[in-house]
Amino acid sequence: MRVLFVHQNFPAQYLHLAPALVARGDEVTALAIENQKPIPGVRILHYKPKRSSSTNIHPWVGDVETKVIRGEAAAQAATELRARGFSPDVICAHPGWGEALFLKDVFPQARLLSFIEFYYKAEGADFAFDPEFSEDEVTGRCRLRMKNANSLLNLDAADWCVTPTEWQRSTVPARYRERMTVIHDGIDTARVRPSATAVVRLAKSGIELRPGDEVITFVNRNLEPYRGFHIFMRALPEILRRRPNAIVLIVGGDEVSYGRRLGEGETWRQKMMAEVGDRIDHERVRFVGRIPYADFVSMLQVSAAHVYLTYPFVLSWSLLEAMAAGCLVIGSATPPVEEVIRDGENGLLVDFFSTADLAAAVDRALSHPDRMADVRARARQTVIDRYDLQTYCLPRHVALVDALAAGRTPFDLDAEITTGASRLTAGATAQPAALGD
C-alpha cells in the first residue's frame, strides 16, 4: 500500500502511524514545510509557498488566502510526486493550514483521510468563552464564519475524517459527523507511568524533588489564557498561603499558540507577574520554560497535584500524559476535560474562572494524599483503557487506513482488527521528542 502524509510540521500527529506503516512494508511518503527529525523509511518532500499573504486584503478573507497559498504549494509538490510515478492509495492529511485543499484534484483516485482538529463555533466553544478577552460579537461571528471556509472545503473533499475526541467531533456540522471516526493520537503508557524512584533536580537551587514532596505542576506549550494561565497565576497566592511547603513547577514558552497577542515584546508571563508577582514566593514558584520530554515525564512522576485548565478547545496531550503518570489532576469543568475526567473518580474538576475553587481543590488534594491514591490509579486506568497508544489507538488508526485503502466503510474498527483485515507490526512506534500539549 502507498500512503501519503501531508502536514506542514510532519510527523506531528502522525509520529506513530507513519513508522507503523513503514514497519509492515508499506511505501510511505510525506509532504512538509518544516525540517524535522527524519523517520527511517519515510521519503519526505518539502514544499514552500511561493508568496506571502496580501497586505491590503479584507481581514476576514486574509485567513482564506493564506490557506489557498499553502494549498497551492502542497498541490504543486504532489504534482511532482505524481510525475515521478507515485500514486497513493490513501492520503492522511492535516488540513488546518490549507495544505489538503487541492490534493484530491491531483490524486482523484486516492482516499483522503483528513485529521480534523477543530471547527470554530460562535456558541459552545472557545469564542466569547472568556469575558475578559471578548471582542465585538457580530464582527467575531463573521470572522469565525470565514475562518471555517477552509474547514468546510476540506470536510467536503475528504472521503473520511478522524478526530481525537468526541467533543472535537461534536463541533463539526452534523452532516459530516457520520464520516468521522474518533481516535486519539495515543499515549505511550509504558513510558509515561508512575515511578517511585523519579527525581527532578532544579538546576539553579540544586533542590531535588521526589514522589511524596508537595509538588504542584502546570503545563502549557505556551503560557496563555486559552490554557488558563491567567487563572492559575491568580490562584497561586492563595495556594501558596494554604500550602507553605509546596513547590510550583510551571512548564511552557512565552509565545502565543492560540488567541490574543499582547503588545510588542510583552508576554503573558510578564503580564501576570506584574499582576500577582508581589504576592507569591519566587523561591517556590519556578518557571522552567520548555523542557525535554524525558524531564517532562519525570516532573509528572513527582507531581502531587497537576493543574490543567482550558477553554472549550482542543484537548492537550499533556492532560492525558499527566493521568497516565498517575497524577492527581485538578482540571477545569469545560467540555473537553469533562469527556475524560469524572469529578471525584479519576480527578477533580473546578469552575474554570474560580480561583477560590482552584485553590481549595489543590489544598484538598495535597491534604489527603492517601485518600487520593485510588483517584490517581483510576486516572491512569482511564488512559490505558481509552487512549493507550499500542493497545488501543494505533491499531484502530492502522485499521482505519486499511479499510479506506480497501474501499470499505470503516464503521466497525474493532471488527477490522479482530478479523485480521488490518495488520500491525508489534512495536512499530517512534518516541516523542518534545513536550506534548
DSSP assignment of 165-202 equals: -HHHHHTS-HHHHTTEEE----B-TTTS---TT--EE-
Q: Give the Cα separation of 328 and 120 in Å (integer).
A: 31
Tell me the pLDDT band of 428, cut-offs 50, 70 and 90. Answer: very low
**Same domain as 245, residue 278:** yes
Q: Give the Cα separation of 226 and 336 in Å (integer).
A: 13
| Residue pair 239/359 in contact by the 8 Å Cβ criterion | yes
**Same domain as 171, residue 124:** yes
Does residue 423 lie within any of the structural domains?
no
Of the two residues 75 and 34, the one the predictor is more confident about is: 75
Tell me the pLDDT band of 38, cut-offs 50, 70 and 90. Answer: confident
Does residue 192 lie within any of the structural domains?
no
**Same domain as 381, residue 394:** no
Q: Give the Cα separation of 13 and 115 in Å (integer).
A: 9
Tell me the pLDDT band of 418, cut-offs 50, 70 and 90. Answer: low
For the CA atoms of the chain, what is the radius of gyration? 22
Does residue 143 lie within any of the structural domains?
yes
pLDDT, tens digit (0-9, with 9 covering 90-100), for 316-368: 999 999 999 999 999 999 999 999 999 999 999 999 999 999 999 999 999 99
**Same domain as 204, residue 265:** yes
Which structural domain range is residue 353 located in?
200-386
Per DSSP bridges, beta strands 200-201 and 208-209 are antiparallel
pLDDT, tens digit (0-9, with 9 covering 90-100), for 220-238: 999 999 999 999 999 999 9
Residue 144 CB: number of other CB atoms within 10 A?
Answer: 18
**Same domain as 140, residue 254:** no
**Same domain as 18, residue 149:** yes
**Same domain as 206, residue 153:** no
Domain tally, the chain: 2
pLDDT at 434: 33
Question: Domain with 408 in it: what CATH number?
Answer: 3.40.50.2000
**Same domain as 305, residue 361:** yes
**Same domain as 368, residue 403:** no
pLDDT at 430: 36
Residue 385 CB: number of other CB atoms within 10 A?
Answer: 10
Does residue 243 lie within any of the structural domains?
yes
**Same domain as 319, residue 347:** yes
| Residue pair 93/150 in contact by the 8 Å Cβ criterion | no
**Helix 59-83 × helix 149-157 angle, to 10°:** 30
| Residue pair 28/22 in contact by the 8 Å Cβ criterion | yes
**Same domain as 411, residue 367:** no
**Same domain as 280, residue 170:** no
Helix or strand run (H / E) with residue 160? strand 160-163
pLDDT at 420: 56
pLDDT, tens digit (0-9, with 9 covering 90-100), for 73-120: 999 999 999 999 999 999 999 999 999 999 999 999 999 999 999 999
Helix or strand run (H / E) with residue 45? strand 42-46
